């Protein structure tokens, strides 16, 4: 997860601006809406909705916005009908990307993403070309400040986590999907702050990115993150350890 984790660190810093926060809220509202549409508006019986709501609250989204998004999803309020799609793509240097899409216009969306990729050293891939390189897992990120790594490791491993490692300013905890909520609870019960927690697509192997490809792939990730229809993306790129925000 090296490439995506480093990008996530930079993204968290960018999201402090009002414009970035507004875009984040828009994507979270989409996720809440489709989660409620697919699994109902009760968080206790809808893990995807519960995760989306927790993420939204962590991003300081007003409760009124969250409740409105849920009601749009359940049909209590009129809303946009989003389609959920997974696109597979290749990036610069032979890297692979998975793009999680929520869109109200598939044709427009695929045209825009194809253009974006082609202009930045990548291209859309056929279904199945890239997905096999990733596996679903829980991913929890805990800020390092004030945290005893050994105590955190003991708590999460005892709860069933697969791994804990340091990635820049965060401890990255990888969990089995079926143990995700138990491990998240163990982290919270231990008094640790959670920066983000989600079911992720984790690459099984990494592709090193070096030289001019670093700047190219950083630009591509920035553009993918900025696209309104791309909820999340995952990549198997391995970015340099000394990566800076202004790469």
**Helix (H) and strand (E) counts for the chain?**
8, 10
The answer on pLDDT for 111 being more than 90 is: yes
| Tens of pLDDT, residues 38-85 | 999 999 999 999 999 999 998 889 999 999 999 999 999 888 889 999
Burial label for 27, CB within 10 Å (0-12, 13-18, 19+), is buried
224 Cβ contact partners less than 8 Å away, ≥ 6 residues apart: 97, 99, 116, 230, 233
| Tens of pLDDT, residues 123-161 | 999 999 999 999 999 999 999 999 999 999 999 999 999
CATH number of 84-132+205-238: 3.30.70.980
Give Cα 244 distance to the centre of its chain: 20
Task: Confirm whether 2-74 and 134-203 share one CATH topology.
Answer: no
Q: Provide the strand spans (E) within 54-206.
A: 83-90, 96-103, 123-124, 134-143, 163-167, 170-175, 196-203
Mean residue pLDDT across the chain: 88
Q: Which residues are bridge partners to 139 per DSSP?
A: 174, 198
Top CATH class, 134-203 = alpha beta
Top CATH class, 2-74 = mainly alpha
Domains of the chain by residue range: 2-74, 84-132+205-238, 134-203
């Amino acid at each position: 997860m090296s490439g995506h984790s480093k990008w996530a660190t930079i993204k968290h810093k960018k999201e402090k601006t009002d414009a970035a926060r507004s875009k984040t809220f828009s994507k979270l509202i989409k996720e809440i809406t489709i989660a409620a549409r697919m699994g109902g508006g009760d968080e206790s019986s809808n893990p995807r909705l519960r995760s989306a709501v927790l993420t939204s609250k962590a991003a300081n989204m007003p409760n009124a916005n969250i409740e409105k998004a849920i009601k749009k999803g359940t049909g209590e309020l009129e809303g946009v009908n989003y389609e959920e799609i997974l696109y597979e793509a290749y990036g610069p240097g032979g890297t692979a990307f998975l793009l999680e899409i929520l869109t109200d216009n598939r044709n427009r969306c695929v045209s825009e993403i194809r253009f974006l990729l082609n202009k930045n050293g990548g291209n859309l891939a056929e279904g199945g070309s890239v997905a096999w390189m990733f596996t679903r897992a829980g991913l929890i990120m805990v800020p390092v400040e004030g945290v005893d790594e050994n105590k955190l490791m003991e708590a999460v491993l005892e709860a069933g986590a697969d791994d804990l490692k340091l990635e820049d300013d965060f401890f990255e905890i990888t969990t089995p999907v079926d143990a995700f909520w138990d491990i998240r609870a163990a982290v919270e019960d231990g008094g640790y702050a959670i920066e983000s927690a989600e079911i992720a697509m984790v690459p099984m192997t990494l592709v090193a990115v070096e030289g001019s490809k670093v700047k190219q792939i950083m630009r591509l990730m920035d553009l993918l993150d900025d696209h309104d229809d791309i909820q999340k993306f995952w990549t198997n790129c391995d970015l340099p350890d000394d990566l800076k925000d202004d790469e």
